[in-house]
Structure 1
């Protein structure tokens, strides 16, 4: 009888020990996946912010390019150059903001 109780107690201890390891492994796996999920989310947020910034910079450069092309067309037209010399229209600004 005492031997059977001892064996039964050992089985319970083993079961608890295995259960703790399973729980530990599960918690470790969840923590690992949670960490990398948060890390990925942060990287996606940074990339979207950088993309928005670059899109804005592209729009600014495109507007400057449009103005410069317009000024070049005006300078290639002899009638426009004559009007600039006589002061009828302003001379294009070389310093594009």
Structure 2
């Protein structure tokens, strides 16, 4: 339960989403326990990636390992208004639904 004042303060923040690798050789992950929400998504070849969303403005010392983003992960983060998305790398697309 939060107060009206706390709710109003939350509305002024931008959630931050980060793509984190879940490949066994890339473990251990850092910063997941500080996230307010964590989504897990299939990337390819049975490998998954986490997309933690940090909303409560906690101080997180270290996050990672950071990986590339997929279109469906963007759809997940779009549920959190004005989310800032951090990722590293990209996959090639011939018919991407966005322009860079």
Same-fold call, TM cutoff 0.5: no
Structure with bigger helix share is 1
| Higher RCO by CA contacts (8 Å cutoff, separation 6 or greater) | 2
Find the structure with the greater CA-based Rg.
1
TM-score scaled by length of structure 1 = 0.20
